[in-house]
Structure 1
Amino acid sequence: MSIARPRQSLLGLILAGSLCLSGSALAESAIYGGGPFYSGGTAVMNDLRASGFTTVMLWSVHVDTNGDLHLNDEPLISDGLYVGPNTGWSAELATLKQAPTSVNRIEVSIGAGGTTDFESIEALVNGTGAGSGTGPDSILYRNFQLLKQITGADAANFDDESAYDLASATAFGKMLAGLGYKITFAPYTNRSFWASLKTNLGSTVDKVYLQAYAGGTGNNPAQWTSALGMPVIPGLWSKNGSGCSAGDSPATVQSKMAAWKQSAVIPGGFMWLYDDIQKCSASGRTTADYARAINTAVE
């Protein structure tokens, strides 16, 4: 089944006023995406607007040892200047929140498994050379200030899976909060670290996206909610891999999310990963199908 036809028909229904999508009417539902969110252009933006997802996660921002920012393999910001190849990206992202749309929030996700982004952040925060620290003249401050301007991001999502340095993560989080970002977490382990960071950053942390797939398989949202003192939003991995045989279908997503709604009163859920949803589109499972599964389960 082609994925193009249902995308167009759903957006057409919205534009015709037959289907109302607004963040206030839906559960909290987020979707992480990599390359397509940067290079997919208007077609991807329209798919997201019509999807039913309320939050778009720009994954993943990487921090070099000199403070330069990349989005996956693409250069993004260097020394306070945008150097990315997609010069129209900011304008494309701005359409995500333009009515009619389900999207009401954009987040930039920092870090990933197997990277050293938070080690770079730690070194820059604790450094003594020019551009170090978290003040207005620091490279971290200037680059993340520009990142917010370009993306319109409402929040910065911490996906630290290796450094776990509380002091530098706290300083970095406070710097970002001062720039107008909310802070969110994407933990899969090390509950005590995340609880301590939540305590240090206080109300600037407004969401926790708990990985319940891959290394986080078996995570109990109720336990994390208790440890962090706030409801968590669990996530699952869409159909992926060889033959799209691994991961969760919309049906199993709905079933698991509904169970967590009963056991942990979750406010929403998230999907990893838009790139895989695109790759497995021949199966007929669309972005909207995954959003509907979450929204139906937790509304």
Structure 2
Amino acid sequence: MRRPLLPALLAAVLALCGLTALDPAPAAAQQSPRSAVYGGGPFYADGQAVMNTLRASGFTTVILWSIHVHPNGDLYYNDVLIVQNGRYVGDAGWPARLRTLKQAPTSVNRIEVSIGAWAVPDWENIAALVNSQGTGSSSILHRNFQALKTATGADAINNDDESFYQVAPTAAFARMAVGLGYAKFTFAPYTNQSFWASLKNNLGSAVVDRVYLQGYAGGSGNDPAGWNQALGLKVDPGLWSRHGSGCSAGDSPATVESRMRSWHSSAGIVGGFMWLYDDMKACSAQGTAAAYARAIRNGVS
């Protein structure tokens, strides 16, 4: 029997697409689970080899930890001076190496620079500079963080404030950073939920798109579900890889996967992070970067 014209045309179009009239529509592509890794000295000193390891690891976000802001505005990557007087003065080869992180084939699609840590006055120094110079184009914060952006190509600034907790100067700095091209401003809390909620409300979801909730050390009792509710977005909880004497402390890839799966069930998490690449390097027999990235991916899938 001859087919009517429209069904015949439809069948022809479907045939060109490699489908039939009985084929279901292709499922929408699912976004890969996000996974982040913090790293310190090796990300700066280990040359191209560490960049290649990260590109092949499965981690989607690399967080450079930590940028320290001195009272005069100088920026140090841990103990190394890298930005001064509006100029990058660090290892001349580092910017080019960082650019390779996103070059295919790679799992990395985002780079963040983290500011702060335990027992350092970085955010206190930032506040003092905001109060004395503001955040305009002539201020040292503006000039130095512009140079840092150019050098690192960072997509976001990560706030690892563990002592200061003042909304107004932090928000002023965050808005300056967004204006410089750091598209996002992320959090790394372990305590003081009310501060982070106030800062998130001040900046809004367009600026704050990720929260890396510490689930180890001082943050070991944190419940992602409670933080989800307080901050109005799903947090990405993190764990500490194997470390310490004999690499006996911290979580193995197997326990990371188990805990991520539990948080996925209880809090609906869609990503997670690992602290710290430096320890993964030292304890590689207990778990490689690729093994930890796979553990997060499996746990939140």
TM-score (norm 1): 0.89
Query: SS at the partner of 1:149?
Result: helix
**Which residue, out of 29, 39, 50, partners 2:35?**
29
| CA deviations over 1:99-120 (Å, ceiling 9, x no partner) | 0000000000011111000000
Question: What letter matches 2:98 in structure 1?
Answer: L
Q: Which residue of 2 aligns with 1:297?
A: 299
4+ residue stretches of structure 1 with deviation over 4 A?
Answer: none
Identify the match of residue 56 of structure 1 among 62, 86, 98. 62
State yes or no: 1:228 paired with 2:231.
yes
CA RMSD of aligned residues (A): 1.1
Q: How does 1:97-112 map to 2 (within 5 A)?
A: 97-112=102-117
Are positions 1:245 and 2:248 aligned together? yes
Is structure 2 residue 46 aligned with structure 1 residue 43?
no
Q: Distance in 1 between matches of 2:89 and 2:213?
A: 32
Structure 2 distance, partners of 1:265, 1:147, is 35
Which residue identity lines up with residue 65 of structure 1 in the other structure? P
State the 1:175 CA deviation: 0.6
Give ranges in structure 1 of 5+ residues lacking alignment. 1-23
Match of 1:65 among 64, 71, 96: 71
| 1:157-213, Cα deviation, whole Å (9 max, x unpaired) | 000010111110011111111112110000000000000000111121111100010
Provide, for residues 192-251 of structure 1, a one-character-per-residue CA deviation record: whole Å limited to 9, x for no partner.
000000011112111110001001001000000100001100000000000000000000
> What's the CA shift string for 1:263-286, capped at 9, x where partnerless?
011011000000000001134x21
Deviation at 1:25, TM superposition (A): 5.0
| Matched residues, number | 271
Partner of 2:270: 267
SS at match of 1:263: helix
- Structure-2 change in CA distance of 1:106 and 1:265 (3 Å): same
Post-superposition CA distance 1:34-64 (Å, at most 9, x none): 0000011111000000000000000000000
The normalised TM-score by structure 2 is: 0.89
- Which amino acid in the other structure matches residue 77 of structure 2? L
> Which letter maps to 2:186?
T
Aligned with 2:92 (options 76, 87, 90): 87
Distance, in Å, in 1 between the alignment partners of 2:31 and 2:230 is 29
Written as runs of structure 1 = structure 2, the 5 A alignment for 1:1-299 is 26-84=32-90, 86-127=91-132, 132-181=133-182, 182-202=184-204, 203-283=206-286, 285-299=287-301
Relative CO higher for 1 or 2, CA cutoff 8 Å, sep ≥ 6? 1
Letter in 1 for 2:95: S
Partners of 2:31 and 2:125 in 1: how far apart? 40
**CA offset at residue 26 of structure 1?**
2.4
SS at match of 2:290: helix
Q: Residue 198 of structure 1 aligns to which amino acid in structure 2?
A: K
Task: State the partner residue of 2:21.
Answer: none
Q: What SS does the corresponding residue of 1:137 show, helix, strand or coil? A: coil
Aligned-partner Cα distance in 2 for 1:258–1:163: 33
Distance 1:114 1:252 in 2: 29
Question: Structure 2: how far apart are the matches of 1:190 and 1:282?
Answer: 36
SS at match of 1:204: coil
The 2-side partners of 1:256 and 1:288 are apart by: 17
> Residue type of the partner of 1:152?
G
**Separation in 2 of the partners of 1:246 and 1:25?**
33
Counterparts of 1:219 and 1:253, CA distance in 2:
15
Mind listing any 5+ residue stretches in structure 2 that lack a counterpart?
1-29
Q: Percent identity?
A: 66
1:75-111 CA-partner distances (Å, limit 9, x unpaired)? 0100101111x21000000000000000000000011
Q: 1:46 to 1:25 in 2, by over 3 A?
A: farther
